[in-house]
Chain A
Amino acid sequence: MSKDRYSRQRLFAPIGSSGQVLIGQKHVLILGVGALGTSCAEQLARAGIGKLTLIDRDYVEWSNLQRQQLYSENDASDRLPKVIAAKERLGQINGEVTIEAYVQDAGRETLESLVEEVDVMIDATDNFEARLLMNDISQKYNVPWVYGACVSSHGVSYTILPGENACLRCLLDSVPMGGATCDTVGVISPAVQMVTAHQVADVLKILVGDQQAIHGKFVTFDLWNHRYSSISVKNVKKRDCPSCGNDPTYPSLSMETQTKTAVLCGRDTVQIRPGQMGDRDFEELKERLVDGEVKENPFLLSYDQGAHRLVFFKDGRVLVHGTKDVTEAKSIYQRIVGG
């Protein structure tokens, strides 16, 4: 390795040589490797992070390439799982970083089994169910996490330090349902980059132990209309909060809120999780798939039926493309698999 590799980062006084050593020893978990996740992962790999754990349930599609910076046209053609494509690209960027890739939904069990070795978690998901799960894990295991989200030209970022500032559940009276999504109003890449700039800056502060530099405010911006606000959270930390209050119950952990079906952000797609997860037998499955075109790679099997396309993952999940209707998706799925 060239000694110059991190010289510009070491010259930055708040990091310095000692901070660079710390960064190289740390482990960051990134939940979701879409737009936010690819951007955060690339910045941290270039910064010389010790280890990255990437979790994502999805595969690369053409509509991702406009903003999901680790992916190529080949990845979209091959429908590679995002974490596999991301790991490959990150390995080319910095071969010294250890990368663990998980092609799966981030359920409670997965996160609980991983979190104790992790220094910070980054939210790069697209739904509040996953965020509230991270929020509870963060409080229970005392691991900071950084909320980030964007849509259109807007973005938000908020760093949650357990025991210090208000948690996400304090901020949300109820779990928001719906709202603007990437499929209704789209998103531009600069909004993504602005969110991850805030996320990664705070992650670096945590990793080098400069927690005083973390302002602890909720950042919101609109790049197209040039509006920026930092909002204080000090009035909304709730003593009776079920996640961070005096007597926490961690609702997202105990309820095991794993929905069997979820409408995915950004596309006309429903995800189905079978009751029992596990290795799906593609050979057995192919015998049932007789009215359409089947394409396969080592990670997934895609079945094009005309109006709908089904993508089967090894872990048991199925994506039904071409519908937002959960019932219709279930029925298509059950016709093929349950019958």
Chain B
Amino acid sequence: MNQVLFFAELREKTGVYKVDVELTGFSVNQVKEWVAKDYSMPKVQDAMVAINEEFALNETIIENGDVIAFIPPVSGG
């Protein structure tokens, strides 16, 4: 089982902060596609993804127990 966290504006767009879901064996890219579709959020492709508080590459494979965080780029200043 895995946990998906949505940070910043993604939390406001999805309406949730934390989702429990089984993603073991999928790649980060596949998880991005799933989120984009399930939450109607094409912008999620721009987000940075961290697994267990380490940024991950698109091809990284999710392992059981991993916590996956979606962090949108923040631009204001």
Residues of chain A having any CB pair with chain B under 8 Å = 32, 34-37, 123-128, 148-152, 154-156, 166, 171-174, 176-182, 185, 187, 218, 220, 222, 225, 227, 229-236, 265-266
* Contact of A235 (CB < 8 Å), options: B9, B54, B75: B54
Q: Given A222-B7, A233-B55, A236-B56, is A179 in contact with B50 using a C-beta cutoff of 8 Å?
A: no
Contact of B57 among A124, A222, A236 (CB under 8 A): A236
Q: Does B43 contact A (CB under 8 A)?
A: yes
Contacts of A218 in B (CB 8 A): 55
- Tell me whether A126 and B75 are in contact in the complex, defined as CB-CB below 8 angstroms, given that A151-B9, A152-B8, A233-B55 are known contacts: yes
Give Cα distance in the complex from A271 to B71, angstroms: 29
Q: Is the CB of B8 within 8 A of A222?
A: yes
- Other A-B contacts than A187-B76, A231-B50, A235-B55, 6 sampled, CB-CB below 8 A, are A156-B71, A173-B58, A176-B73, A180-B9, A231-B55, A233-B54
- Residues in A with CB closer than 8 Å to B12 are 152, 185
Between A126, A156, A171, A187, the greatest number of chain B beta carbons within 10 A of the residue's beta carbon is seen for: A156
Whether the pair B73, A220 counts as a contact (CB closer than 8 A) is no
Task: For the complex of A and B, list the 4 residue pairs with the smallest distance between their C-beta atoms, beginning with the closest.
Answer: A176-B73, A151-B76, A180-B9, A149-B74
Are the CB atoms of B56 and A149 closer together than 8 Å?
A: no
How far apart sit A232 and B54, CA to CA, in the bound complex (Å)? 4
Complex CA distance for A152 and B10, rounded to whole angstroms = 12
Instruction: Tell me, yes or no, whether B48 is within 8 Å of chain A by CB.
Output: yes
Given A151-B8, A177-B46, A229 and B77 contact (CB-CB distance below 8 Å): no
Contact yes or no, A149 B55, CB < 8 A: no
Report whether A171 and B76 are in contact in the complex, using a CB–CB cutoff of 8 Å.
no
Would you call B53 an interface residue if the criterion is a C-beta within 8 Å of the partner chain's C-beta atoms? yes
